[in-house]
Amino acid sequence: MNGKNIVDILLVEDDPGDVELTREGLAAGKLLVNLHTVDDGIKALRYLRHEEPYVDAVRPDIILLDLNLPRMDGRETLKEIKADERLRSIPVIVLTTSEADIDILKCYDLGASCYIAKPVGFEAFLKVVRSLEDFWFTVVKMPPKD
């Protein structure tokens, strides 16, 4: 988190409804959040590596990553992020519909910081997003941005 108490979050999510729910949940929180969104893993990596069209992208404090994405899924995206020396220190929170043990184990093996199954229902989803903010930006000591 930068010195101005502004949090930059990269949301990698292809469902517009979940993007809006996440935006609403973060807007209702205590922190000023800049939510940057991309809808697939290829765009996420381009964003993080400052490639076209994201040359001026801000390095996020945290990444919220869905698993079921077009073109490059979240597992492969996570693998690429954690293999990149410049990106691996960014916490990655997997936020997905899958509750499959194999997905959970795979994501932790690949270096996910935590794994959260998206709850069903508007209020439950907002509660999860708000709790993420409380935990990750109040309790956890975050790595400095490069």
Domain map of the chain by residue range? 6-138
* pLDDT at residue 42, rounded to an integer: 97
What pLDDT does 146 receive? Answer: 63
Give CATH superfamily name and number for 6-138.
Response regulator (3.40.50.2300)
The pLDDT value recorded for residue 48 is 98
- pLDDT per residue rounded down to tens, the chain (146 residues): 444 468 899 999 999 999 998 888 888 777 788 999 999 999 999 999 999 999 999 999 999 999 999 999 999 999 999 999 999 999 999 999 999 999 999 999 999 999 999 888 888 888 888 888 878 877 887 777 76
pLDDT at res. 3: 46
**What does the H/E/C string look like for the chain?**
CCCCCEEEEEEECCCHHHHHHHHHHHHCCCCEEEEEEECCHHHHHHHHCCCCCCCCCCCCCEEEECCCCCCCCHHHHHHHHHHCCCCCCCCEEEEECCCCHHHHHHHHHHCCCEEEECCCCHHHHHHHHHHHHHHHHHHCCCCCCC
Note the pLDDT of residue 1.
Answer: 45
